[in-house]
Chains A and B, each alone.
Chain A
Amino acid sequence: MIAVIGLAIGVVLGLVLQPSVPPELQPYLPIAVVAALDALFGAVRARLEQKFDDRVFVTSFLFNVLVAAFIVFLGDQLGVGAQLSTAVVVVLGIRIFSNAASIRRHLLKA
């Protein structure tokens, strides 16, 4: 519950403050967001499976974000930034979909 509240507050803050992304962070933010979404979906699924753990969520969240950003950074350095970004998004998207499927099965029993 507190997570949902935090999410809502974050959205409101973003809407109210209307910050601009620093240029050096701009390539990483979208990937980081996708990675964090992946962690969030995993957490929701774990919660529904009743094996949620704060610590794992926090570490996986941060780690996911950092690894995703690092992969993009590496890709940029190697000259394949666009392709690696796509790869990361695809992989994370697949994970999000599978997690969403689990969540759906838990919620709808179908």
Chain B
Amino acid sequence: MSEQERAQPLSGPDETAPDGTRASEPPPSAADGPVAGTDGASGAEGATAASEPTGNRGRGWRSQLLVATLCLLLGFAIVVQVRQTQGDELAGLRQNDLVRLLDEITQRNEALAQEASELREDRAALLSGSDASRSAEDYLEVQRILAGTAPVEGPGVVVTVAGTASLTAQEMVHMLEELRNAGAEAIELSGVRVVTSSWFLEQDGALVVDGTTLPTTHEWRVIGDPGTLAGALDIPGGALAAFRSKGAEVEVTERELVQITAIREVTVPEYASPAPEDG
């Protein structure tokens, strides 16, 4: 507090008593001089002796109301500003800071975008890798079915042939080819899985398939489209017609589910080996 202020005549208490009542007339000596000095010297804003005689209670109440209104505004502004600052930390920043922040965010964004694209590539590579392995598995499955190393099941026909004493190996091959033409995917003949390397032989009045002698009543279990298979077998002059003409009794049954459990051991090729892909 400056000396000037201490020296200032205390006309205030008369002017504005703490309870808000006003003295009727301030001393005329309370002039502007000390007041201006106060304001400039140490910033005691609002501290003054009244520079002019103040009037009645109406003005006093108005002033009080004005003061209250200003305080209300201040409180309001403080709360608003605090909320603003808490709510959005960017709002309090200036343009330069915002530009710098934007730059940083942009750089970070680019870095992240790059990382994301790299990760996406990795993911695609991994996915295609698993695709490859899955298709390899599928391929293996197909190969096992074709090679007869896996038990299979599916729709198809069952052909029972009885009284086969006079059948020839030629007719058996004919039958087999006819089944294959009709789209047979897997064939079992009386417990022998018939594959591409299968052969028929007439030996001592009996039929031999792949080294196994067939019983007089043998059974073809064929997986494929049942309608197509049955239709192909029933063609006049076909394999079954030849069987019948040899006195065999033939019965064709279309089934929803034919199970072929016989499998074949695969022998490792002795001479053939896969050729290099790019020759």
Contacts and interface: CB of A to CB of B under 8 A. Distances in A.
Bound together: yes
A54 B66 contact: yes
B92 to A, nearest CB: 7
B96 interface: yes
Contact of B1 (A18, A60, A64, A102): A102
B43 to A, nearest CB: 4
Contact of A81 (B11, B18, B66, B94): B94
Interface stretch (B73-81, B154-162, B231-239, B255-263): B73-81
A1 to B, nearest CB: 8
Given A6-B70, A14-B83, A50 B12 contact: yes
Instruction: Name the prevailing secondary structure of the B interface residues.
Output: helix
Interface string A7-35: 11111011100111100001101101100
A2 B67 contact: yes
A40 B54 CA distance: 22
Contacts of B167: none
B116 interface: no
A39 B46 CA distance: 7
Given A49-B12, A50-B12, A32 B77 contact: yes
A57 interface: yes
A6 B50 contact: no
Contacts of B81: 21, 29-30, 33
Given A2-B20, A82-B94, A9 B43 contact: no
A93 B63 CA distance: 27
Interface in A16-73: 18-21, 26-27, 29-30, 32-33, 36-43, 45-47, 49-58, 60-62, 64
A11 B78 contact: yes
Nearest to B74: A36
B77 A2 contact: no
Contacts of B43: 38, 42, 95, 98-99
Interface string B6-38: 001011110110101000000000000001000
Contacts of B68: 2-3, 5-6
Interface residues of B, number: 52
Given A29-B84, A54-B63, A57-B67, A49 B44 contact: yes
Interface residues of A, number: 57
Contact of A18 (B42, B83, B92, B97): B83
B71 interface: yes
Given A11-B79, A51-B10, A39 B45 contact: yes
A43 B72 contact: no
B96 to A, nearest CB: 7
A15 to B, nearest CB: 6
Contacts of A85: 94
A4 interface: yes
B274 to A, nearest CB: 73
| Closest 3 pairs between A and B when the two form their complex, measured CB to CB | A10-B75, A51-B12, A14-B79
21 contacts: A6-B69, A6-B72, A7-B72, A11-B76, A11-B79, A14-B75, A18-B83, A26-B91, A30-B81, A33-B74, A42-B43, A42-B47, A46-B45, A47-B46, A53-B46, A55-B54, A56-B35, A61-B45, A62-B70, A82-B97, A102-B1
